[in-house]
Amino acid sequence: MITAMMASSYNAKEEDGHHSGAAGHGASAVKSRKPDNTAFKQQRLPAWQPILTAGTVLPAFFVIGLIFIPIGIGLYVTSNNIKEFEIDYTGVDSNSPCYTCARNFSFNSTTSCTCSLNFTLDQPFESNVFMDDSQLNGDPSALKAPSKECEPYRTSEGLPIAPCGAIANSLFNDTLKLYHVDSNGTMNEVPLVKKGIAWWTDKHVKFRNPNGNANLTIAFQGTSKPVNWRNPVFELDPSDPENNGFINEDFIVWMRTAALPTFRKLYRIIQKKSSTTPTLPSGRYILSVNYNYPVLSFDGRKRMILSTISWMGGKNPFLGIAYITVGSICFFLGVVLLIIHHKYDNRNTSADIPN
């Protein structure tokens, strides 16, 4: 009976065992079920038991505060040193879209620095961010048969689209040019470097052209350009044959989808010339925009941002402020706790809590 079985097993657990039938075969077969006398099973593992006392917590607060506040200040100063200049070139009048807007602006930068030219888009998030990574990696089969998740930008006119997907289809294709108007009134084009704006690994490992870089026209034969594109992918950069196909850096930058609906992407880099001459001397500049990318239909905004670059990237005071805040709170809490601790510590044995 189950009761019997249960009872016998229950009996086996007893230490002093009330086995009346010692020779009973049922009882003798059951081993002792006492757990092993090991440190683990008996919960006696040697352990370090840190105890948070005022002696440890208060110094921790102070140390954190004292470390964080300088870091925060440093970050904030760095961030503030970064100069940014921003132009919204969306074009207000939707009836007459300006394709070439020239704007005059002045940019004061006396120091030598590397500057970046960024564009910022403010657009609703793309819901389908899928891209065919194998296709972009140069997989010939994926080139001809893109992943289904590229739909509805998978095939066009019966041919597979390369690169497929909505993201690629909406490639940012405005052309920005920067002219410096010198004292003579002549416009000198500021040299914009378009290499090195993408991740090194993206350009060299993740993105690859089919059949290497040899003759992209042939490599992309049998594929169709994305619907909204003007040129096929192998003609993205007519000036530099090395910068075409999937490894076009503008394309790579675009394909690294942004996290938030308002995002900023690197467009070009302005290299510093020498340590003495300012990269962008004071004066008037002209931004020439080849306006291809329509944003008005979805109430988007387009901006150009000229920014200096520091070690911590673009201008972002948040990190510095956050550090300062946290450091201050820590320090403040430390002080409060210290006061409380001393005021209410009426055991009046100062040795009680080793500070």
Partner 1 sequence: MGQGGEEERRGWGVEEKRGKSSEGEGKREEKGEEREREREERAGEGGGERERERRQGKEREGGEGEERGRRDGERRREERGREKEEGREERERDGGREREKERVREERGEGGERETEERERNSSQDRCWGILDSQMLLLHSALIIMTHITPTVLDLITPNAPGSSSPTRTDNNDSCSTAEQIRLTTIAALNLTEWRRRCELNDEEKKQTINEKCVGEENWVDSRTIYIGHKQPPPGTEAFIQQRFPDNRVTSSKLIIDTPTSPVTSGLPLFFVITVTAIKQGYEDWLRHKADNAINQCPVQVVHDGKVIRKQSRKLRVGDVVFVKEDETFPCDLILLSTSRDDGTCFVTTASLDGESSHKTYYAVQDTKAYTTEEEVDSIHATIECEQPQPDLYRFVGRINVYMNNDSVARPLGSENLLLRGATLKNTKHIYAVAILTVMEYANMALNSQSPSLRRGRLFVMNSYLVVYPGACSVIARLTDLCVEYVFTDKTGTLTENNMEFIECCIGGHVYVPDAICNGQVTLIQILFYSMLKKKWYWTQRTTKVNTEQQRPRGAVFPGAVSLSHGQVKEEETVDGIKHGIHQGKSTSFYISSSPDEVALVEGMKRLGFTYLRLQDNHMEILNKHDEIERFEQLEVLTFDSVRRRMSVIVRASSGEYFLFCKGADSSIFPRVVAGKRRKSRLESNVTLCLSADYGDYADFGLIIDGAHTSRRPQAASGRLELWKLQRDFLEICRNCSAVLCCRMAPLQKAQSIVKLIKTSKEHPITLAVGDGPTTGSSAVRNSDYAIPKFKHLKKLLLVHGHYYYIRISELNVVFIFPQFLYQFFCGFSQQPLYDTAYLTLYNISFTSLPILAYSLIEQHINMDILKKDPTLYRDIGKNCLLRWPTFIYWTALGVFQAIVMFFGAYFLFDNTTFTSNGQVLYFYWPHDSNTQMMFGNWTFGTLVFTVLVFASLLSLALDTHYWTWINHFVIWGSLLFYVVFSLLWGGIIWPFLNYQRMYYVFMQMLASGPAWLSIILERTRLYQGHLSDFTPLSSLRPGLNSGSEASGPGPRLQDNRRSRSEYGAKKLMFTRWRYRASDYCSFTPLLPRFSAGPKYGGTGHEEHADVVRACANALSRNSP
- Residue identified by tokens 């503030």 is 80
DSSP letter (8 states) at residue 170: T
Cβ closest to partner 1, residue 48 vs residue 157: 48
Give the separation between CA 223 and CA 219, rounded to whole angstroms: 9
Establish if 87 lies at the interface with partner 1 (CB under 8 A): no
Establish if 262 lies at the interface with partner 1 (CB under 8 A): yes
Contact range with partner 1 by CB under 8 A, out of 12-20, 93-101, 183-191, 278-286: 12-20
Identify the CA nearest to 213 among candidates 236, 237, 247, 253. 247
Cβ closest to partner 1, residue 40 vs residue 93: 40
Identify the CA nearest to 296 among candidates 89, 103, 90, 88. 90
Helix H or strand E encompassing 67: helix 54-81
In what side-by-side order are the strands of the sheet with 262-270?
A: 84-88, 301-308, 115-122, 262-270
Establish if 298 lies at the interface with partner 1 (CB under 8 A): no
Identify the CA nearest to 223 among candidates 149, 144, 138. 144
Longest dimension (CA), the chain: 116
Establish if 114 lies at the interface with partner 1 (CB under 8 A): yes
Contact range with partner 1 by CB under 8 A, out of 22-30, 209-217, 234-242, 275-283: 22-30
E-assigned strand segments in 52-150: 84-88, 100-106, 115-122
CB 350 within 8 A of CB 54: no
Site string for partner 1, 201-230 (x = CB under 8 A): xx--xx------------------------
Which residue type occupies 37?
Answer: N
Neighbours of 331 (CB within 10 A): 18
**Residues of this chain, 127-166, that bind partner 1 according to CB under 8 A:** 127-134, 137, 142, 147
Establish if 196 lies at the interface with partner 1 (CB under 8 A): yes
**Using the rule CB under 8 A, which residue among 101, 333, 335, 355 binds partner 1?**
333
**Using the rule CB under 8 A, which residue among 191, 273, 281, 318 binds partner 1?**
318
Residue 207 in tokens: 């993105």
Minimum distance from residue 260 beta carbon to partner 1 (Å) = 5
**Using the rule CB under 8 A, which residue among 150, 247, 253, 289 binds partner 1?**
253
Cβ closest to partner 1, residue 48 vs residue 184: 48
Identify the CA nearest to 279 among candidates 104, 116, 87. 116
Minimum distance from residue 100 beta carbon to partner 1 (Å) = 26
Phi-psi region of 96 (alpha: psi -120 to 50; beta: other; left: phi over 0): beta
**Using the rule CB under 8 A, which residue among 111, 256, 292, 299 binds partner 1?**
256
Which residue type occupies 218?
Answer: I
Contact range with partner 1 by CB under 8 A, out of 101-109, 211-219, 280-288, 318-326: 318-326
Minimum distance from residue 183 beta carbon to partner 1 (Å) = 30
- Residue identified by tokens 């550090």 is 323
Establish if 4 lies at the interface with partner 1 (CB under 8 A): yes
Please give the size of the binding site for partner 1, defined by CB under 8 A: 116
Which residues are paired to 179 by β-bridges? 189, 286
Minimum distance from residue 7 beta carbon to partner 1 (Å) = 5
Establish if 183 lies at the interface with partner 1 (CB under 8 A): no
Minimum distance from residue 167 beta carbon to partner 1 (Å) = 11
